[in-house]
Structure 1
């Protein structure tokens, strides 16, 4: 299974609506196993991240007033890909992992930027 990233808005009636992914964007946020091996890893936690480690225990909902802080955490992860990318999986090189994480992180950043544009939030599930 794969993790997905979506943008949501909260309507006047309190109803949460997940928006369609626009053409040219992707909702791929990583592999299910990344919940613990990447997002909830000791490496990510050691950077002081708080949003991404929450994925180790369930889905992540970033509310509209948190999106700016979430984008800052995305930048923290991006700036530390060499630390974050696992080194112990014999099926992939460290560089391959870093590249995959970078690609999926770009999708997450894109969703967060789209969320800001509509005063919405981000859901990774």
Structure 2
């Protein structure tokens, strides 16, 4: 499963009208594991992020009036990206090992 960015506009009745992604724009925000290890990581929280950590548990809806604050948060995290640890290795199933020792 992948994490994607979807643009939507709120309507007067409280629903959302979803917009098509413009041609040539990549709407990918990483794999589903990115939600857990990056967006909700302590280092991202230590950078003062309040929007991105919400992705750990739910979808993120940024109201139009908060878009600038969200973009600033993204820029802050991107600026510190070299300090963010690499993704942990995928969880693997334990394997049983047998020993041939006598």
Length-normalised TM-score, structure 1: 0.66
Instruction: Note the 1:34-113 alignment, pairs <5 A.
Output: 34-86=34-86, 88-89=88-89
- CA-atom RMSD in angstroms: 1.6
Structure 1 residue runs without a partner (length 5+):
91-125
How many correspondences in the alignment? 90
CA distance in 1 between counterparts of 2:87 and 2:55 reads: 20
Structure that is richer in helix per residue: 1
Structure 2 residue runs without a partner (length 5+):
91-102
Structure that is richer in strand per residue: 1
Name which structure has the greater RCO, CA cutoff 8 Å, separation 6+: 1
Length-normalised TM-score, structure 2: 0.80
Instruction: Note the 1:3-22 alignment, pairs <5 A.
Output: 3-22=3-22
Runs of 4+ in 1 over 6 A off after TM superposition: none
Larger radius of gyration: 2
